[in-house]
Amino acid sequence: MAIDYIAKNEERFLEELKELLRIPSVSTDTEHKKDVHACADWLVAHFKKIGMPTVELHQTPGHPIIYAESLGAPGKPTYLIYGHYDVQPPDPLELWDTPPFEPTVRDGKLFARGATDDKGQMFAHVKALEAHLANGGLPVNVKVVIEGEEEVGSVNLDNWVEANSERLKCDAVFISDSSMYAKGLPAIMYSLRGLAYFEIEITGPSHDLHSGLYGGAVPNPINELGKIIAALQNPDGTVAVPGFYDRVRALEQVERDGFAALPFKESEFMAETGVKGVQGEEGYTTLERTWARPTLDFNGIIGGFTGEGAKTVLPSKARAKFSCRLVPDQEPGEIQEMVAAHIRSIASPNVKVDVHFHHGGRPVITERDHPAVLAAMRALKKSWNTDPVFIRGGGSIPVVATFSDVLKVPSVLIGLGLNDDRLHSPNEKFDLENFYAGIRTLTYLWDELA
């Protein structure tokens, strides 16, 4: 049986993962271009070795995409696995206890750059495929996309997915590139927030003026920008843009009950962020505020004299960047219009206001009763012997929006990492318990989906 095969091969699986982690596939660094390509080649060879019927290396203007498929289950549904083989730079090197590209096991944890993000999690999928291929074959149709540019913004993936959308057709996407809710508590992330990112520039006088000679009679762009910032927020913590909440899907009571039951400590959240107190939309908990409610946060601001000391300038310009996190079913394009219109309606007629839209991304939600979600829940429970929980994510994962927009299919995020895995930091690690339980989960998954 596939599941027994795992226990028998744990040691080899670990050695193979170590081999994969030794390749310094740092996608952000052109000096590592050869290594990134070597890593892709290694994976192509490995997919062939485990018996995937079709394995292809697709060149892009950047790093290659690996595509594999096993379509030997006619009449059965088809699923897509997404992962990435590139990693973050290991700097600062001196903070690593053992070298980042010399994978080392200590205390049941595997330390290496990419251990959890995403080589370890992605490789758990590969090993689950092998467990089936070596034991009678996959009970469903599986397509695999592993890219090498996730850490540089997946710059070539969207075009590639659009160009290959027919071939990538599937019923759902599975991604393991995130975390469980806590150690021993597996989770399905079924929703992510979207984004609408803005930049605003206010021009008062055409050039910097002396605040003594002109102050009092000339519109000051920072004073005016402050008024706009304030006018975008209500005292109750909501966003003060007319229409902003029109499409917001209310949290269902079952979701709120589920979040409330999670082991979440406000004191830990405060210690982690270093804030004196939490604040946000009235009537919602911290988890609800960060996972399931829209926001408007300023990301940067600059204007006038910002050096040491004092300069009595009445500046010509002030600029700020801000972004809204969006939740289902808000539309970035609509939000863009509403925000810009609101700003124009409150700005002084005596200043020039430019509102620029940087980019946006739709929020995504996968119905919790989707067959792929239910199958993943059963597989997690079998593997971990505990009820998995439903969670949402406050950030965006662009590839999920891509699959949603282009392939029109939901993604199911089965995070195998832990919140203390230090991804992007020195001493990144992956718990071996999570690695093996992850392989078992993903092996059960294909049976549950069949």
Min separation Cβ 406 and a copy of itself, Å? 22
Min. distance of Cβ 450 from a copy of itself in angstroms? 35
Which residue number, 227 or 247, has a Cβ lying nearer to a copy of itself? 227
Closest by CA position to 219, among listed 132, 84, 318, 137: 318
Q: Which tokens in the block code for residue 161?
A: 């997915």
Nearer to a copy of itself by C-beta: 146 or 200?
200
Q: Residue 196 pairs with which residues in a beta bridge?
A: 324, 360
| Distance in angstroms (rounded) separating the CA atoms of residues 281 and 285 | 9
Q: To the nearest whole angstrom, how small is the minimum distance from the Cβ of residue 420 to a copy of itself?
A: 14
Length of the chain in terms of residues written:
450
Q: How far is the CB of 357 from a copy of itself (least distance, A)?
A: 10
What is the nearest approach in angstroms of a copy of itself to the Cβ of residue 40? Answer: 28
Residues 321, 342: Cα–Cα separation, whole Å: 16
Distance (Å) of CA 257 to CA 252, 298, 356: 9, 31, 39
34 vs 356, beta carbon nearer a copy of itself: 356
Rounded distance, CA 339 to CA 291, Å? 21
Cβ 172 to a copy of itself shortest distance, Å: 23
Return the number of other C-beta atoms located less than 10 Å from residue 359's C-beta: 11
| Residue (of 181, 149, 204) closest to 27 by Cα position | 149
Task: Given the residues 16, 118, 147, 150, select the one marked as catalytic.
Answer: 150
- Dist. CA 348–CA 273, nearest whole Å: 36
86 tagged catalytic = yes
Of 164 and 211, CB closest to a copy of itself: 211
In angstroms and rounded to an integer, the radius of gyration of the C-alpha atoms of the chain is 25
Closer residue to a copy of itself (CB): 93 or 275: 275
Token pair of 448 as six digits: 């549950």
> Which tokens hold the place of 360?
């946006």
Q: How far apart are the C-alpha atoms of 180 and 358, rounded to whole Å? A: 32
Which conformational region is residue 35 in: left (phi greater than 0), alpha (psi within -120 to 50 degrees), or beta? alpha
Residue 68 vs 423, nearer CB to a copy of itself: 423
* Min CB(161)–a copy of itself separation in Å: 22
How many Cβ atoms sit within 10 Å of the Cβ of residue 346? 15
Which is nearest to 149 in space by CA: 419, 338, 398, 324? 398
Known catalytic residue at 150: yes
Strands 429-431 and 172-175: unpaired
Q: How far apart, in whole angstroms, are the C-alpha atoms of residue 27 and residue 50?
A: 26
Nearer to a copy of itself by Cβ, of 186 and 393: the residue is 393
Q: Which residue has the tokens 């970035």?
A: 332
Smallest separation, CB 292 to a copy of itself (Å): 9
The encoded tokens of residue 361 equal: 């991304």
In the chain, the N- to C-terminal Cα span, in Å, equals 16
Report the C-alpha gap between 116 and 429 in whole angstroms: 6
Nearer to a copy of itself by Cβ, of 261 and 310: the residue is 310
Name the residue nearer to a copy of itself (CB basis): 1 or 271: 271
From the candidates 86, 151, 171, 288, give the one annotated as an active-site residue: 86
Token reading at 124: 């758990």
Structure tokens at 322: 């801000």
The least distance separating a copy of itself from the CB of residue 233, rounded to whole angstroms, comes to: 6
List the catalytic residues.
86, 150
